[in-house]
Amino acid sequence: MKMKLSPQQEAAVLHMGSPALVTAGAGSGKTRTLTAKIAHLISLGYPPERILAITFTNKAADEMKRRLVALTGIPETGFPWVRTYHSACYKILCVHCGLLGYTTPLQIYDTYHQRKTITDVLIRMNHDKKFVPTILNHISKAKNSGNPGAYLDAYPFISYVRLADAYELYERMLKEKNAVDFDNILLCVRDILRDHDDVRRRYQERFEFILVDEYQDTNNLQEDLTGLLCRGDNLFCVGDDWQAIYSFRGSNMRHFLSFEQRYADARVFKLEQNYRSADTIVRVANDIIDYNHDKMDKTCFSEESGGTVEIYEFDDEVEEARWVARKAEELNEDGVPYDAMAVLYRTKFTSLYFEHAFRRAGIPYHLLGDRGFYDRKEVMDINSYLMAAVFEKDDTAFERIINIPRRGVGAKTLASINDMRTGAMSLQAAVHLALAERRLSDKVYQALSDLMALLDDIRDMRPDAAIREVIERIGYLNYLKQYADAGSMDFTEKVENIDQLISAAARMESLTAYLEEAALIREDKDDEEGGFGVNLATIHAAKGLEFHTVFVVGCEENLLPHWKSLEEEDDLQEERRLMYVAATRAARCLFLTAAGFRKGQFNRRSRFLFEIERSL
């Protein structure tokens, strides 16, 4: 199947011989161009298994593979290196982790494990556990900066916690468990490629071409990896600096803006035609971003005439929400489906009155960005059993399951078992020792014997069979029903989640492969869109999506732009990019609203509304 391309898209696709950057305006066919580039490389004789295509989410990688299958006829398995940075680097790390003193299988610590480990770190350092989120955040930033040492020098203390000491102890505890966190995956591979010439040459030779999607969102560490893997002329990056809105995650837009300086003989291609939004919306969006001075110039346009852009102001957030609800009803009566509408806001608290208004009006709605599948209690419980079976040093997983369901292992019993540990002995090893020496009551002895037997039995099972075995042997559904009843939760929904878990696990061959996949997807913060009804979302959660009608609400000073972003020019420019992203989600209708009073406080209308008014 040959893909139809615009002249600008085709020029980028056909370019060879030097690094290329495609600066793609909103709705300009960025993914189409990237996919067409890969198909073109294959037509030139490049083996698909030697093309590295980096996306920022697992969902985007899956979508790209689906497009490539349709375009080339090659099955998905023929594209083993269409992956996220983390997934690609983990694959490399599993081969070469011995260079850093690890063994396989290597465990990925998810957020739950990281928090538990940092909690243990702070307890050992005699510090309050309340610092766990802050310390974890700084450790992550240190790694993603690409230079942890310099970061730790710049931030020596968090309150009275010496950050370098916490970092060192945290890393040592991970190493003892033969585990890495998500940031370690990138940092370790960066260090291996940087410090081992033979490994670097191996992958430079393996990857005949490297493509990077959403290049404006790369952080320093990811840019280091890109530079180490490419040979110089075989790099193709796509993105839009106008939509760079993730500096809080460590992304550095300067990589995008300095591409021509960083890579010799680089070419820049501009995709300026917007195929999503009507002309009026595109013109307004251009004028919004024009107030930013740090950007690559583009003149985006649309051949779709018309479009609606209107500004409304209200006394307070209640009146604002009621108007949005009434307008949504009117549009729906005119034939616009509710799920083709979105209410976008800068911060999550803003959604409250819109939820109220939609409920009262009987309008269905859907909140984007709900709790991820692998973060749900029942999924974490079952996966912890599987982790404990595969990774015997995983104390975090084992501690979670040792009393789920209740086995009579109270705090005193657990403390006595922990007292038996010496050196780096795992909790499971201590339980085996306690069982061997029969230091437990008859009830606890039998319960823990059954638990250890279960872990032994499922270790070599297929993932779906292991899950069924766990559920059956521990009576998990009975436990879950009691838990759901006690907590007023929906038991049926939890059973459906377990059914879905079994279905997903059945696609994997081994527990190790399943747990690796689950850990990578769990870290992936990409929100699932869909569901029936008006979409309520933060602007960040809506990036990459499109709707017939968009309401951008809460357009007030200190909210959009956010009060934390008013002091630094770089931060204010990012807030303006957020407004640009919000506006360009709309295909036909864009409504912007502000409330004079919100949370009982007077608010001035956003400066961005004045900028938009000048454009209308």
Distance in angstroms (rounded) separating the CA atoms of residues 115 and 110: 9
Catalytic residue from among 9, 23, 30, 574: 30
Distance in angstroms (rounded) separating the CA atoms of residues 515 and 508: 9
| Residue 533 annotated as lining a ligand binding site | no
Tell me, yes or no, if 204 is annotated catalytic: no
Tell me, yes or no, if 111 is annotated catalytic: no
| Residue 78 annotated as lining a ligand binding site | no
| Residue 582 annotated as lining a ligand binding site | no
Distance in angstroms (rounded) separating the CA atoms of residues 359 and 85: 41
Total residues belonging to the chain? 616
Rg (CA), the chain: 26
Please, are residues 384 and 454 in contact by the beta-carbon 8 Å criterion?
Answer: no
DSSP string for 231-279: -SS-EEEEE-GGG---GGGTB-THHHHTHHHHSTT-EEEEE-B-SSS-H
**Which two tokens mark 158?**
């968090």
Distance in angstroms (rounded) separating the CA atoms of residues 336 and 538: 22
Catalytic residue from among 585, 588, 598, 605: 585
Catalytic residue from among 243, 413, 538, 573: 243
**Which two tokens mark 284?**
């307004």
Tell me, yes or no, if 243 is annotated catalytic: yes
| Residue 24 annotated as lining a ligand binding site | yes
Tell me, yes or no, if 214 is annotated catalytic: yes
How many alpha carbons fall within 13 Å on the CB side of residue 206?
15
Tell me, yes or no, if 322 is annotated catalytic: no
Please, are residues 380 and 400 in contact by the beta-carbon 8 Å criterion?
Answer: yes
| Residue 27 annotated as lining a ligand binding site | yes
Q: Is 260 exposed, middle or buried (CB count within 10 Å of its CB: 0-12, 13-18, 19+)?
A: middle
Distance in angstroms (rounded) separating the CA atoms of residues 207 and 82: 12
| Residue 111 annotated as lining a ligand binding site | no
| Residue 164 annotated as lining a ligand binding site | no
Which helix H or strand E contains 415, and what residues bound it?
A: helix 411-419
Closest CA to 607 of 578, 576, 583: 576
Catalytic residue from among 110, 171, 213, 575: 213
| Residue 410 annotated as lining a ligand binding site | no
Q: Which residues are annotated as a binding site?
A: 24-31
Catalytic residues: 30-31, 213-214, 243, 585
Q: Which residues are annotated as a binding site for ATP?
A: 24-31
